[in-house]
Structures are given as C-alpha cells and as structure tokens.
C-alpha cells in the first residue's frame, strides 16, 4: 500500500550490499547427517535419504539473498511533505538464539524530498536483511538505516510485527504472541502527527484480512 501516486522521471540507484557467505554445502550436508544420527535416526532410511543434501541446499539459498538488486529513486520535484507507506511485506528469517523461524510483517514509511523510491525495492531490501540469523530488533534498524541511505535523509519509519516460533513452539508456547518493533527517525521522531499517521496506517494494514 502507498499513500501517493508518482511518475518516473530521472532515476538514481543505490545497491543493496551483496551477500558475503560462501557455504560449503557438502560439509553442511555431512553435519546434518551427523545430527540425524545423534538424534537416533537412520539418515539412509526411506524418507530421510537425501535430507542432508536438501537441508544444505536450503541453507545456501537462505544465506544468499539477492544482493544484486538496486534501490531505484525517481525524481519527482512536485512532492513535498507527503507520507509514503509501503506495507504488506512478509519475510521469513531465523532467530539467532534458537535457530527457529520467525515471520516478519514489514511496513516502511518515508517522507520524499524531490525523489521517490521504486516500490518493489522495499520488498527486496526486507528479504535481503531477513536472509541471515537475526533478531527482530536489529532487522528493523537495518531496514531503516538502509532506507535512510537510499533517500538521503532520516525521515524514515519502519515497523515490524513478528511471529517467533521460538516462543510459539518452545518455552512458554504462546501461539498468539506477537512482537512489534518500530524504528522512527527524523520527522517521525519529532512530529507527533506524522508519527501517529504512520502508526495508524500500519496497524490498519496488520488488521486487514
């Protein structure tokens, strides 16, 4: 969702940092094989045959999100003081404390100043920062700081609502628990009206079916 309609003119770009992980999938498969043995399983039985290789291939994909994408900015000189919100972005990451999945619903907002960011790039940057062992708090800050660099100022807010399997399927096992993090900068931190607009629209997106 966005609260503005813009038209492209001249464009500038900023690259998402490329992935640094080089994974030895053979070694990872061997470790998964050993784990299955230690768990009392037979890695060669029907159903598990090939599982170590599949798990290793998944880890390689997960830790190698597309870092070649660029965040494109389009000149739009008529805009000023307008709030742009992009929501409905859902990414999967892994909690670094228990290595269990977490689903993160991401909403980003900013105030354009002569340029607008290509909308599809928001999802790409969210997927990139989710593709690593993470904590939700750091993920929220990373997305916000990257967007700061893209637009060239700090009028950025990012809100993330997370479902953590480390809380839902272990420990207290509270399936309905949700964690919300918000990073507000620039005018979002000093203008209560702008901040409230962002939070109201964000919670509306989360409540939508």
Q: Which residue has the higher pLDDT, 61 or 14?
A: 61
8 A C-beta contact, residue 153 and residue 186: yes
Among 49-58, 60-69, 119-128, 199-208, the range scoring the smallest mean pLDDT is: 60-69
CA distance 90 to 106: 6
- Per DSSP, 19 falls in state P
CA distance 131 to 63: 5
pLDDT of residue 208: 73
Neighbours of 13 (CB within 10 A): 12
Percent of the chain with pLDDT over 90: 65
8 A C-beta contact, residue 49 and residue 41: no
8 A C-beta contact, residue 148 and residue 185: yes
Nearest to 187 by CA among 113, 89, 125, 129: 113
pLDDT in tens, 35-76: 999 999 999 999 999 999 999 999 999 998 775 556 677 877
Q: Which three-class secondary structure state does DSSP give residue 27? A: helix
Residue 181 phi/psi, 5-degree rounding, is: -125, 145
Is residue 90 over pLDDT 80? yes
8 A C-beta contact, residue 81 and residue 26: no
Rounded mean pLDDT, 156-169: 94
CA distance 106 to 88: 7
């Amino acid at each position: 969702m966005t609260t503005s309609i813009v038209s492209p003119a001249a464009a500038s770009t900023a690259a998402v940092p490329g992935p640094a992980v080089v994974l030895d999938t053979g070694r990872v498969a061997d470790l998964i094989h050993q784990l299955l043995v230690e768990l009392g399983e037979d890695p060669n039985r029907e159903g598990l045959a090939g599982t170590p290789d599949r798990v290793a291939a998944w880890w390689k994909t997960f830790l190698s999100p597309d870092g070649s994408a660029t965040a494109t900015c389009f000149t739009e000189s008529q805009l000023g003081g307008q709030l742009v919100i992009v929501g409905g972005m859902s990414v999967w990451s892994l909690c670094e404390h228990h290595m269990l999945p977490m689903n993160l619903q991401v909403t980003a907002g900013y105030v354009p100043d002569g340029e607008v960011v290509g909308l599809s790039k928001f999802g790409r940057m969210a997927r990139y920062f989710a593709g690593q062992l993470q904590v939700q708090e750091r993920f929220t800050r990373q997305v916000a700081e990257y967007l700061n660099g893209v637009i060239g100022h700090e009028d950025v807010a990012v809100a993330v609502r997370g479902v953590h399997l480390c809380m839902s399927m272990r420990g207290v096992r509270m399936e309905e628990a949700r964690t919300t993090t918000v990073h507000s900068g620039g005018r979002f931190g000093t203008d209560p009206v702008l901040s409230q607009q962002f939070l109201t629209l964000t919670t509306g997106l989360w409540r939508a079916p």
